[in-house]
């Protein structure tokens, strides 16, 4: 038993070292294996060949690419996005070899400062990988398996042995395509169809890597699963693909956390996440998104166009989305639940912070097809600076879905007088037995609250952080504990410079 733990810790440590190394060496030191710039059929073939994919996968990609060429980018969101030149980007970049460890001096001091403020400098990587130690011995040891996606290729997976014993499959999607082709084929593109939307179709054609998770029947995944997405190479589009299947009566909690180094060029990110929950299964999917939002003038941030959807296929199945969105120049994202199963449950808890010139148009869709299905939506938008923050949500009840319930709460908090908050609810009810509730509020941080907190000893930034965290509490408390602590600090950092 002891040996077991030691081996596991050793493996975790090694994996963490690897991740940490990349952390140090994110800049130009890594030799990148680029696909030629631009997007055409050859690019798609290049990616598929690089990954030694089976023929069916290549055909699927080519079909998507042909479809994408006939489509147009959506413009219905309340976002102001300059036209994207898809030919002026690289679609595949793999780190060639393990980079050598460089000194901390080579890392952008601004990024180091943020990490330090988060209280999670380099050691965090080790902690997250479940390595014992660190300054705070009082915390319970973290049980998180990390699958790091660095640029586009998954470089490290930890805890694999223990997960294997439980029958849990936790692989990069490229590995899974080769090792579990039947399972992947059964679900890939079934929740978010290939033709779903412009960005999802693009993803189908050029997705680089991502994560595949399968939890077998009746298994409670023995640890939190976590993937770190990092965008590293300049001008590289990031097209992640995630597929999680929870078989009957299983449970999994999955964490997705993101940071990105500073870049001057806008970077496109168009991920697709598909979740499937069968009878009595539960998936908890938590995201903390902190990609580079651009500078104070809004230049250079990440464009984040993500399609996330869960299929609650089974009776009593449940999917819970929790997201803390603080980064990116533009966020276009609507994690949704299709509630087909009888008495299935969908939840969406969201905090979206925008500062400076950031734009976020985010929300959810709850599609009630199953009898007695229920959904809860709690959205907290915080806007500062010149930013715009929009909640857009759809609640739809199908004619045959009896006894559906939905509760939606949308709260907006404004800082300063130049930011905007918008709430756009769509409610389509085709069954008279449904109970739908929608509550919405908009408020400002009052001068009274600020002064009260400051008179007790908090400086302006600490006061804002405290008040904002109070505002977002219902959402933050849905996060796994370690994540919640980071998220609280992140909210404060994201709002830096918005007061005073």
Partner 1 sequence: MLQINNLHANVGDKPILKGLTLSLNAGEIHAIMGPNGAGKSTLGYVLSGRPGYEVTEGSVTFNGQDLLALEPHERAAAGLFLGFQYPVEIPGVSNVQFLREALNAQRKYRGEAPLTGGEFLKVAREQAGALGMDMDMLKRPVNVGFSGGEKKRNEMVQMGIIDPALAILDETDSGLDIDALRTVGDGINRIMRKPDKAVLLITHYQRLLDYVKPDFVHVLDGGRITRTGGAELALELERDGYKELAA
What residues make contact with partner 1 under the rule CB under 8 A?
Answer: 446-449, 451-460, 462, 466-467, 469-474
Q: Rank residues 268 and 445 by Cβ distance to partner 1 and give the closer one.
A: 445
Q: What six digits make up the tokens of 147?
A: 């699958």
- How far apart are CB 448 and partner 1 at their closest, in Å? 5
- How far apart are CB 447 and partner 1 at their closest, in Å? 7
- How far apart are CB 415 and partner 1 at their closest, in Å? 15
Q: Rank residues 7 and 460 by Cβ distance to partner 1 and give the closer one.
A: 460
For the chain, the three-class secondary structure string (H helix, E strand, C coil) is CHHHHHHHHHHHHHHHHHHHHHHHCCCCCCCEEECCCCCCHHHHHHHHHHCCCCHHHHHHHHHHHHHHHCCCCCCCCCCCCCCCCCCCCECCEEECCCCCCCCHHHCCHHHHHHHHHHCCCCHHHHHHCCCCCCCCCCCCCCCEEEEEEECCEEEEECCHHHHHHHCCEEEEHHHHHHHCHHHHHHHCCCCCCCCCCHHHHHHHHHCCEEEEEEECCCCECCCEEEEEEECCCCCECECEEEEEEECCCCEEEEEEEEECCCCCCCEEECCEEEEEECCCCEEEEEEEEECCCCCCCCCCCEEEEEEEEEEECCCCCEEEEEEEECCCCEEEECCEEEECCCCCEEEEEEEEEECCCCEEEEEEEEEECCCCCEEEEEEEEEECCCCEEEEEEEEEECCCCCCCEEEEEEEEEECCCCCEEEEEEEEEECCCCCEEEEEEEEEECCHHHHHHHHHCCCCHHHHHHHHHHHHCHHHHCCCCHHHHHHHHHHHHHHCCCCCC
- How far apart are CB 117 and partner 1 at their closest, in Å? 14
Q: Rank residues 175 and 461 by Cβ distance to partner 1 and give the closer one.
A: 461
Q: Rank residues 376 and 469 by Cβ distance to partner 1 and give the closer one.
A: 469
Q: Rank residues 3 and 448 by Cβ distance to partner 1 and give the closer one.
A: 448
Q: Rank residues 161 and 460 by Cβ distance to partner 1 and give the closer one.
A: 460
Q: Rank residues 31 and 462 by Cβ distance to partner 1 and give the closer one.
A: 462
Q: Rank residues 435 and 443 by Cβ distance to partner 1 and give the closer one.
A: 443
Q: What six digits make up the tokens of 159?
A: 């805890």
- How far apart are CB 439 and partner 1 at their closest, in Å? 14
Backbone angles phi, psi at 346, to 5 degrees: -120, 140
Q: Rank residues 83 and 140 by Cβ distance to partner 1 and give the closer one.
A: 140
Q: Which residues pair with 339 in a beta bridge?
A: 312, 368
Q: Rank residues 109 and 500 by Cβ distance to partner 1 and give the closer one.
A: 500
């Amino acid at each position: 038993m002891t040996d077991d733990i030691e081996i596991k810790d050793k493996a975790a440590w090694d994996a963490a070292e690897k991740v940490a190394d990349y952390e140090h060496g994110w800049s130009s030191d890594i030799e990148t294996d680029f696909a030629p710039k631009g997007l055409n059929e050859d690019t798609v073939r290049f990616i598929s060949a690089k990954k030694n994919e089976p023929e069916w996968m290549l055909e699927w990609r080519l079909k998507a690419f042909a479809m994408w060429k006939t489509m147009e980018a959506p413009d219905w969101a309340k976002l102001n996005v300059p036209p994207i030149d898809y030919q002026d980007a690289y679609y595949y970049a793999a780190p060639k070899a393990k980079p050598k460890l460089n000194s901390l001096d080579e890392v952008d001091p601004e990024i180091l400062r943020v990490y330090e403020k988060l209280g999670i400098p380099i050691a965090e990587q080790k902690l997250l990988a479940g390595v014992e130690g660190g300054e705070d011995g009082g915390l319970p040891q973290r049980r998180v398996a990390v699958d790091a996606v660095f640029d586009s290729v998954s470089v490290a997976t930890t805890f694999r042995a223990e997960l294997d014993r439980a029958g849990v499959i936790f692989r990069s999607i490229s590995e899974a395509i080769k090792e579990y082709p039947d399972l992947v084929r059964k679900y890939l593109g079934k929740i978010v169809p290939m033709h779903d939307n412009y960005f999802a179709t693009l993803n189908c054609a050029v997705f680089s890597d991502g994560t595949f998770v399968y939890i077998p029947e009746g298994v409670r995944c023995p640890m939190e699963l976590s993937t770190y997405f990092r965008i590293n190479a300049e001008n590289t589009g990031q097209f992640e693909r995630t597929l999680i299947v929870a078989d009957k009566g299983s449970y999994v909690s999955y964490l997705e956390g993101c940071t990105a180094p500073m870049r001057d060029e806008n970077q496109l990110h168009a991920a697709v996440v598909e979740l499937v929950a069968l009878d009595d299964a539960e998936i908890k999917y938590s995201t903390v998104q902190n990609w580079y939002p651009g500078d104070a003038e809004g230049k250079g941030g990440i464009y984040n166009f993500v399609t996330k959807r869960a299929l609650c296929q089974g009776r009593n199945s449940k999917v819970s989305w929790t997201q803390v969105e603080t980064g990116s120049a533009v966020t276009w994202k609507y994690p949704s639940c299709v509630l087909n199963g009888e008495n299935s449950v969908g939840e969406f808890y969201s905090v979206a912070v925008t500062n400076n010139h950031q734009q976020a148009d985010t929300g959810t869709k709850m599609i009630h097809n199953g009898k007695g299905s229920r959904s809860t939506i709690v959205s907290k938008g915080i806007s500062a600076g010149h930013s715009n923050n929009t909640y857009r949500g759809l609640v739809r009840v199908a004619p045959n879905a009896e006894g559906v319930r939905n509760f939606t709460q949308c709260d907006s908090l404004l800082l300063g007088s130049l930011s905007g908050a918008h709430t756009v609810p769509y409610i389509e009810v085709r069954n008279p037995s449904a109970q739908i509730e929608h509550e919405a509020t908009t408020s400002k941080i009052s001068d009274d609250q600020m002064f009260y907190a400051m008179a007790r000893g908090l400086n302006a930034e600490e006061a804002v952080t405290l008040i904002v965290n109070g505002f977002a509490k219902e959402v933050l408390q849905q996060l796994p504990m370690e994540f919640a602590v980071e998220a609280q600090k992140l909210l404060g950092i994201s709002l830096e410079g918005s007061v005073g």
